[in-house]
Amino acid sequence: MYPLNVILVGCGDAWVGRENSLRNLVRRELSNQLVCVQGEFRDVDSALRGVKFEKGEHALFLIHLRTLDDLPQLQRLSSAFPGQPILALRDANSDRQLFLGALRAGAAFAVPVPFESDDFKAALDWIAREFGFVPRQTTLIAVAGASGAAGASTIAVNLAYEIATTMQRECILAELAVRFGVLATHLNLEPRVTLFHLLDNLADLDVETVRQALTPVCDNLYLLPGPQEAISSTVPAAPDMMRVVQYLKPLADVVVLDVPCTYDDLYFEALASADKIVLVMEQKLPSVRAVQMVRDALHLRGVPSSKQVIVVNRYNAQMKGFTAEELAQHLHVASLQTVVNDYAAVSEAVNSGQPLRIQAPSSRVLADITALIRPLLDLRPLPQKGPNLFNRVVRAFGLTS
């Protein structure tokens, strides 16, 4: 995910062709590349008045330059925000000296508009790497019941809470319920915006819109709940739901999806898109069969078993024929995770609208949730800086002979 938010300056009045505004072009490309627009200003003066950075905060300025006469404004912006990268957008038919002038005035690069999506992305990536901003590596975890009432939502809530508080990672808990959500009740919240509202305004959907829809839960944890006020009569298309999921990824280190057990296209698309899949089952024969069915379906979709973590919820080690070892052997997996049965503590937490860590901190379930985090949050190597990237960007924009 792109590591910098973007601030637009002077992009509102320009047009690219007769029907396409520069603002719409830029915002569409940024949205397609999952870049969050932090702010938008008419000109440099309004940006100087409106932009405030906290210590250590950074953003990428995108400023539109029409002619060489605009270069002093670019220089003012660069001087006012030293260390903040600037990408200049210059009209394609402008003087080629505007490119060099933009660099001298403080821009990291200057691209002609209109532009090709790949070229624009190349410029964004080059700037991020040259300024030392590594793309955020977001882990998408899908938690789903392999059978109904297996307790997947309870595990998703407490998994997300532990990742945010114990692991100190920015985390979003998102509920992919299409008719009626339960997570806000689990956390005793009254969200202003839900997934339903986002799906009802797909034309205006982008990363910033999704960010504003999130409900804070605690430090590092945010919630995107399913429909709350009434049972929805409409079933959104799976691609629309997954579009929302993609817009969540730039906003956190970890996104935990609570996937209802529906066995429909959304169920399997959500699981297939995840970096890690948590399949929650019970020590019951129908649940065992359901796990095998889901795993077979995922295999047909090309989802490797290495992404899947099977969790036996409400586990009783004394249940003959259904021990963790016996279940692992039956399901042909090396091992599986278990979450102990602590019905009293879990029920108390759900009824009070609190995570287990708050309501029942001594519950044995928390140790099992912590153990579950380990196989889910693999540390990934940071992307290496590619050789000659600047030269490739320059060639992409036709700036060499």
DSSP states of 159-172: HHHHHHHTS---EE
CA 371, chain centre distance (Å): 24
Between residues 228 and 52, the one the model is more confident about:
52
Same domain for 311 and 368, yes or no, is: yes
The pLDDT, as a whole number, for residue 203 is 82
- Spatial contact of 87 and 127, defined as CB atoms under 8 Å apart: yes
Are 2 and 135 within 8 A, CB to CB? yes
**pLDDT recorded at residue 160:** 98
| pLDDT over threshold 70, residue 394 | no
pLDDT at 228: 77
The closest of 90, 109, 174 to 140, measured between CA atoms, is 174
Residues 120 and 151 in one domain: no
Indicate whether 98 and 225 sit together in one domain.
Answer: no
Tell whether 233 and 356 lie within a shared domain. Answer: yes
In a domain, 186, yes or no: yes
Q: Which residue has the tokens 């505004």?
A: 21
Q: Is the same domain home to 12 and 90?
A: yes
- For tokens 């532990």, the residue is 162
- β pairing state of 5-9 and 109-113: unpaired
- Same-domain pairing of 23 and 151: no
Q: What is the pLDDT of residues 67-102, one digit of tens each?
A: 999 999 999 999 999 999 999 998 877 777 898 999
**Alpha-carbon span 350 to 151, nearest angstrom:** 11
**Any idea what the CATH number is for the domain that residue 289 is in?**
3.40.50.300
> Radius of gyration over alpha carbons of the chain, in Å?
24
Predicted pLDDT of residue 32 = 84
Share of the chain above pLDDT 70, in %: 91
pLDDT in tens, 209-261: 999 999 999 999 999 999 876 666 667 889 999 999 999 998 999 999 999 99
Residue range(s) defining the domain that contains residue 148: 139-376
Cα separation, 197 vs 232, in Å, equals 11
* Statement to judge: residues 146 and 198 lie in one domain: yes
**By percentage, how much of the chain surpasses pLDDT 90?**
72
With 80 as the cut, is the pLDDT of residue 190 above it?
yes
* 19 in any annotated domain: yes
The domain that holds 85 is classified in CATH as 3.40.50.2300
Number of domains in the chain: 2
Which pLDDT band, with edges at 50, 70 and 90, does 390 fall under? very low
pLDDT, average across residues 22-35 = 88
Q: Is residue 401 part of a domain?
A: no
